Amino acid sequence: MVERDREDEDAAEPVECLDVRERRGPGGGGGGDHVRGCYRWRRGSPVTGSAGVSDPGSTFARMTGTGVLATSGPPRRVLRRVVPTSDPARLVLWGLASLAVALVHNRLWATPNLSYFAAITQRLGERPFGDEPGADYLLTNLGLPSLARLLGQTAPHEYARLHLVVLVVGLAACVAVAQRRYGYRTARTLTVLLAVAPGVTVSMQWLGQPDALTFPLGVALALVGRRASLVLLAVLLGLTHPEQAVFIVVAAAVVRGVLDEGPPVRDAARRAGTDLVEMAGGVVVGRLVTEVYLRASDITILRPRSQLLRQGLDDFLDHHLQEPAPLLYLLWGPLWLLVAAVVVVLLLRRGAGVPVRRWVVLGVLALGLLAPVAVTLDETRVYAMLTAPVLAGAAVLLARHRGTRALASARAAAVLLVVALVVPGGFTAGTSTWSWELPVGDLVPFLVDGEHPGRDATAGPDGWLMTPFDFVIPLPAQG
């Protein structure tokens, strides 16, 4: 993918990398070998020629999310070969280091709703809770229970274990998409941002919630290029968490517009609007599938999430003000360092290869996504899911433009990982919980064979999983 930098068009040296495919054949026609490489590119330069070879018959084609860019004919400039964009070995090493840091930073724990989700998985097509309405709102989260049932991972510990696998595999797929579309630097930056992101924190500390699938889907929606992939991911998101999906697809559409560099601006806005319509349609399809399932199974949701709105604004305000300082910090965690660095760069280097307007739009979007958090109880969990596309957009902008590229360097990435090793991860649901409070030594045997210190002859793990917390499980209010 061409990492174009329109603000850098007057730079003295070409600064962007073009991942191209050279098709050699008679007269640039069919046949011949395909050679891929990364070449220096400057706006206005022809996309012809080869590394050190003058071949009037060569044709370069670049696959993009919307089509193929191809030019042919005698080369007017020979492009110089540079470091390839595809560097899987180094990216894998960064991924392993980031995973290790995430485990230290967050530790592992599981949601107190784990037994409920396991019951849904074991009894798909039934109402597993009897007449108890307390957890039936979870019945609209069909994505992961369906996958767990398909794979036979239906016991509570198997379900939690599967979620950890889904989270790691899903985020690895997002990094692979970023590498393919935007190059190695963007993929490395995204890898490190994910390691310290609150979205990974809440997913690892509440294994069993839909977050393990919702978060990777939100990141992917900002990155994928093909329309079919966009719609399919939106359908999966609608199956996984339809309420959060509404806000995530709006955020993803805005981020896709921010990353779109095709002229003019109004056309980029129109393309983002088209993306929004397609993603929203996918979410609707996913929710309709869930509705068909509920009706076919004669299941009625007695306490939907919408009943949270009956709490009243005063109750929500009291809830959010229990621990305001931890709440503010844990909205972004260690990424506040990066936020501060970007703000400094925007203030000091305006016009020097820094796309100020794009960053402003991204910041306004992040602030706007606080609005739905105001009417939820598990605050940082919800905010982390809704801002997943923002995280992907930030990774692309950091790596793409000359003015912020230092913040996407290997040195900056290493510093962020070291900071995450020192400070704990956490989340808030009125009160805060930090990783040092989680007895992960007890959870590991549970993930292996289901045994844990709180088990008795009749009870599941839910009571034991609540022991590190001093808050009430967020449930919709009584009707």
DSSP structure string for 189-218: HHHHHHHH-HHHHHHHHSBTBTHHHHHHHH
DSSP 79: P
Scanning 152-308, the segments in alpha helix (DSSP H) are 156-182, 184-196, 198-205, 211-221, 227-240, 242-259, 265-296
Q: Which two tokens stand for residue 53?
A: 């070879």
For residue 125, the model assigns a pLDDT of 87
Residue 363: CB partners within 8 Å, gap ≥ 6?
A: none
For residue 104, the model assigns a pLDDT of 97
Strand partners, 73: none
For residue 455, the model assigns a pLDDT of 56
This prediction has a pTM of 0.82
User: 335-375: per-residue pLDDT in tens?
Assistant: 999 999 999 998 887 666 678 889 999 999 999 999 999 98
Burial of 280 (C-beta count, 10 Å sphere; 0-12/13-18/19+): middle
Rounded distance between C-alpha atoms, residue 437 and residue 5, angstroms = 45
Q: Is 255 in contact with 365 (CB distance < 8 Å)?
A: yes
For residue 26, the model assigns a pLDDT of 41
Element (H, E) at 141: none
Residues of the chain with pLDDT under 50: 1-85, 456-459, 474-479
Chain centroid, CA 15 distance in Å = 27
DSSP structure string for 409-467: SHHHHHHHHHHHHHSPPEEEESEEEEGGGS-HHHHHHHHHHS--TT--SS--SHHHHTT
How many Cα neighbours within 13 Å face the side chain of 316?
17
Rounded distance between C-alpha atoms, residue 355 and residue 7, angstroms = 7
**Angstrom distances, CA of residue 256 to CA of 55, 165, 372, 471:** 37, 28, 21, 37
Instruction: Kindly give the pairing relationship between strand 59-63 and strand 431-434.
Output: unpaired
Chain centroid, CA 165 distance in Å = 15
- Picking from 32, 77, 14, 73, the residue whose alpha carbon sits closest to that of residue 50 is 77
Q: Is 225 in contact with 181 (CB distance < 8 Å)?
A: yes
